[in-house]
């Protein structure tokens, strides 16, 4: 498709957000159950100066937007927040993840793929290009670092800030999953939050996430990603099915940042 075929869009953010909502609504309808809260969307400029830094702070092999779309202009990052019941069940389950948590992991990854297909279709109908990435398992299994880190992309796009537990805390909390898509469609970037949305990182008392990690991976002053991954792998045999359920997530369930920006920091973000 030539550039002449590209159609102007008055509000591309609103259009693409409505595509995400349509995909979720269609999925909810077909599954006859509502297990996600309203999705969030944020946009980063592909030229944002933080992208090259991902090769310093995440991995030297981290992909750049232009690796996916040569003339990339925008990176869309969306978050699908889980209903509190999902986080509560995982918290109550004890040592292993709850079956509903594992099911949500598998199902949300499928939904993310569906949303990416919706977005790609919409963008291509407008005459632009788009490239999708898998929701998970796009990481180096030796180093346990991602070559396309949705959390870091979400941070760059202004979707949230990092918590002490290394999850991204969004306006709807950290309990949920992230997806992303790259396009050459120009979309105004969304601003990054002005302050921290993690109590500990904002200098306040918390570390509730540390108390939730009874596996020794997350401490007040350190995080052992290999111990964390071991615990995720320990959950696989607990949940039978066709998909790999290397999940844990206990540090993000039933803590002050699970489903919202912690109350003590909310006024600052408004």
Q: Give residues in contact with ligand SF4 (CB under 6 A).
A: 163-165, 198-200, 206-209, 212-213, 215, 217-218, 228, 231, 248-251, 255-257, 262
For residues 154, 210, 263, 76, the Cα torsion angle rounded to the nearest 10 degrees is: 10
CB of 138 to ligand SF4, least distance (A): 18
For residues 27 and 82, which CB has a smaller minimum distance to ligand SF4 in the complex?
82
Residue-level length of the chain: 270
CB of 244 to ligand SF4, least distance (A): 15
CA 183 vs CA 74, 111, 217: distances in Å: 6, 20, 37
CA 29 vs CA 24, 34, 189, 246: distances in Å: 8, 8, 31, 27
DSSP 83: P
Residue showing the smallest CB distance to ligand SF4 in the complex: 163
Instruction: Compute the distance between CA of residue 94 and CA of residue 188 in angstroms, rounded to an integer.
Output: 44
For residues 104 and 182, which CB has a smaller minimum distance to ligand SF4 in the complex?
104
For residues 65 and 160, which CB has a smaller minimum distance to ligand SF4 in the complex?
160
CB of 152 to ligand SF4, least distance (A): 16
Give the number of other Cβ atoms within 10 Å of residue 83's Cβ.
17
CB of 30 to ligand SF4, least distance (A): 30
For residues 129 and 165, which CB has a smaller minimum distance to ligand SF4 in the complex?
165
């Amino acid at each position: 498709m030539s550039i002449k075929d590209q159609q102007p869009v008055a509000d591309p953010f609103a259009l693409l957000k409505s595509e995400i909502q349509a995909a979720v609504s269609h999925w909810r309808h077909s599954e006859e159950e509502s297990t996600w809260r309203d999705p969030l969307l944020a946009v980063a400029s592909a030229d944002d100066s933080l992208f090259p830094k991902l090769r310093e702070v995440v991995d030297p092999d981290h992909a750049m937007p232009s690796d996916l779309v040569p003339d990339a202009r925008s990176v869309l990052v969306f978050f699908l927040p889980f209903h509190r019941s999902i986080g509560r069940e995982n918290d109550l389950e004890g040592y292993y993840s709850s079956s509903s948590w594992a099911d949500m992991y598998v199902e949300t990854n499928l939904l993310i793929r569906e949303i990416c297909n919706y977005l790609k279709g919409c963008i291509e109908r407008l005459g632009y290009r788009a490239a999708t990435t898998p929701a998970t398992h796009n990481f180096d299994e030796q180093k346990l670092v991602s070559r396309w880190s949705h959390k870091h992309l979400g941070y760059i796009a202004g979707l949230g800030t990092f918590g002490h537990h290394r999850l991204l805390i969004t306006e709807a909390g950290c309990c949920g999953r992230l997806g992303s898509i790259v396009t050459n469609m120009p979309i105004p970037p969304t601003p990054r939050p002005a302050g921290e949305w993690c109590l500990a990182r904002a200098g306040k008392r918390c570390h509730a996430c540390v108390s939730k990690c009874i596996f020794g991976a997350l401490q007040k002053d350190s995080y052992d990603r290999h111990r964390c991954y071991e615990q995720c792998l320990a959950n696989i045999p607990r949940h039978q099915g066709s998909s790999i359920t290397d999940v844990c997530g206990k540090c993000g369930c039933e803590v002050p940042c699970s489903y919202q920006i912690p109350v003590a920091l909310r006024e600052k973000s408004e």
